[in-house]
Amino acid sequence: MAESIFDLKHVRKRVLKDINLSIQKGERIMIFGPSGSGKSTLLHLFNRLEDPDSGQIFYYGEPIDSYDIPQLRKKNGIVLQYPYLFPETVLDNLKYGPSLFDEWQSGNEDKLLDYVNLPKEYLDKPVDDLSGGEKQRVSLARTLANQPEILLLDEPTSALDDQNIESIEEDLMTLMDSKALTTIMVTHNLHQAKRLGTRGLFLADGMIKEEGDLPGMFDQPKTDELQKFINVN
């Protein structure tokens, strides 16, 4: 039986209403639904970028607020929709997280760039000189530098063109397979959810309206809400 990582009990936060959810180690969760349904808010609860207004969240069986926040965020790394990089070089960004914990080791930078398919020559590049797709790759590599157990992805490809989306998806698939990362991803792209996910959560009106295996829940939706969402997306 898979190990439970997160358990949410009657969680409420702004738009979110009575969220009950368990996430097991190794799952690839895709969160999708209409705008304003609480997808990003739900994702942010997993590393305490936001805290619930009521209800409880358990992390490995203990209340999530009993964990040290920097350590929690180290283990639950997040990549946001728009890459917020420090205005220095690529290498400075990669070193930042591990240096906070005195864990940076020279030589890690080459491996991190390999993970996201960037050449070594990029290490000394100012981040302001990078394209949008390159910045998102550096953002992913910076998160991976902390050796997270869980990867939280908040629409990381929504601002990219099709070529960059396909390339970053390939990187993510390789990482999820090779590092056995538990992944929780918000996406508006149902084709992406099918390609990357093993389990889907459909949110609407702040509630989990439907959940199930992917891609099966798209082929046989159980609710009218999901069927309508599929039809317009």
pLDDT at residue 220 in the model = 92
pLDDT at residue 76 in the model = 96
The H or E element spanning position 162 is: helix 162-179
Question: Is the preceding peptide bond at 215 cis, omega within 30 degrees of 0?
Answer: yes
**Report field, pTM of the whole predicted structure over 0.75:** yes
Residue 215: count of CB within 10 angstroms of its CB:
16
Two tokens at 210? 């439907």
Q: Report residues of the chain scoring pLDDT below 70.
A: 1-2
Q: Where are the domains of the chain?
A: 4-84+148-232
Q: How many Å apart are CA 37 and CA 60, to the nearest integer? A: 27
Q: What's 88-105 look like in SS3? A: CEHHHHHHHHHHHCCCCC
Two tokens at 60? 């490995």
4-84+148-232 belongs to which homologous superfamily? Answer: P-loop containing nucleotide triphosphate hydrolases (3.40.50.300)
Sign of CA dihedral 45, 50, 55, 57: positive
Two tokens at 90? 């690529």
Q: How many Å apart are CA 144 and CA 78, to the nearest integer? A: 9
* Sequence-separated (6 or more) residues with CB below 8 Å from residue 123: 89, 90, 91, 94, 109, 113
Coil vs helix vs strand at 187? coil
φ, ψ for residue 166 (rounded to 5)? -60, -40
